[in-house]
Amino acid sequence: MDLHRSRSRPAVTAALTGLLLFVSAPAALSEPVPGASSTPARGNAYMGMGVLAHDGAGVGAPPTDDRATQTEGVDVSSHQGDVDWPKLWDGSVRWAYTKATEGTYYTNPYFAQQYNGSYNTGMVRGAYHFATPDTTGGAAQADYFVDHGGGWSKDGKTLPGALDIEWNPYGDDCYGKSTSGMVGWIRDFLDRYKSRTGRDAVIYTATSWWTQCTGNYGGFAAKNPLWIARYAATAGTLPSGWSYYTMWQYTSTGATVGDHDRFNGSQTQLTKLATG
């Protein structure tokens, strides 16, 4: 079809201008599609980013565990933007973790609204760090985390920081490290975090990644609480050394923010973890 015959030149120009504006308009904030072929820009990683792509979603969700003995939580990052914390509270969410940092190059621009907003609503809150062992050492990343929101205070409302260690969204699954090299990197992070805050950090991971990239190392289980990632009716087999999980990310499609979690205990036990 000949545009010059069906439309005047000004009309064509306006149509093309509108098309350019449409293409260049910023998209609404949302989590990147797991398993997408393009490599995301640094800073875009979030907790559980690789779970669906590598482990899938099990048949039988939602969880079958007894909700009466567990406490509902959520985890958020910049992809959620400003979070409606009162709505989550009304939906029985009682704790939350917010992404604070990634590597030694990124801080979450929504951290204050998310971290303080959950606290002000009445929730017990914590911060997490997305590890990138291919960029800088574990101790350096622990320092960056603590210096940018990942600290801890004994107020009964602040949970120990969490190390998000999982599939590399920017390259090799294990960040180019051997199993012993990965264990060493994690140990350096945990030791520095403990020396800076006095608390043992929570470890967030998936059993399949942990097995592949640490050789299913069991040496952290005695001190570091486990936050297991598995989108299924049960948490499944846990990494070596842990006989139970402290937290469980059980879905990426929950109400309001997507990622929902369970604390494996009552509200009173959750407060005890926060208090130290």
* More confidently predicted of 51 and 37: 51
Q: What is the mean pLDDT of residues 2-11?
A: 35
pTM: 0.86
Say whether the peptide bond before residue 62 is cis (omega within 30 degrees of 0).
Answer: yes
Asked whether the predicted pLDDT for residue 147 surpasses 50, the reply is: yes
Q: Tell me whether residue 164 is one of the annotated catalytic residues.
A: yes
Q: Which of 166, 200, 259, 261 is catalytic?
A: 166
Q: Rounded to an integer, what distance in angstroms lies between the CA atom of residue 122 and that of residue 124?
A: 7
Given a cut of 50, is residue 141 above it in pLDDT?
Answer: yes
* Residue of 164, 200, 259, 261 marked catalytic: 164
- DSSP secondary structure of 218-246: -TTTTTSPEEEE-BSSS--SPPTT-SS-S
- 18 pLDDT more than 50: no
Q: Are 58 and 231 in contact (CB under 8 A)?
A: yes
The residues, any chain, with a CB within 8 Å of residue 60's CB and separated by 6 or more, are: 232, 233, 234
